[in-house]
Amino acid sequence: MRVPYEIIESAIVKDDHALQYVNDHFDSYLNYLARREKFDAKGNVIKYVDQEVKETIRLALLVAIPEFKIKEV
């Protein structure tokens, strides 16, 4: 599912509701990007979301949104 065009337009001008929509829309993808693995004492793999990495990516997304250029067709 894509983010609606109107939401993107609003997010570019830093509308709080639109930015929250984009944030919520990409939350599971951010979790995917921030997945990490570590081993416990018995050698079992433990998968987890590195919250620091996730927040770094989220911040980069929110900083990039106002710079997004929309081409008129």
H, E, C per residue of the chain: CCCCHHHHHHHHCCCHHHHHHHHHHCHHHHHHHCEEEEECCCCCEEEEECHHHHHHHHHHHHHHHHHCCCCCC
Condensed to tens digits (0 to 9), the pLDDT of residues 49-61 reads 999 999 999 999 9
Model pTM score? 0.81
Condensed to tens digits (0 to 9), the pLDDT of residues 10-51 reads 999 999 999 999 999 999 999 999 999 999 999 999 999 999
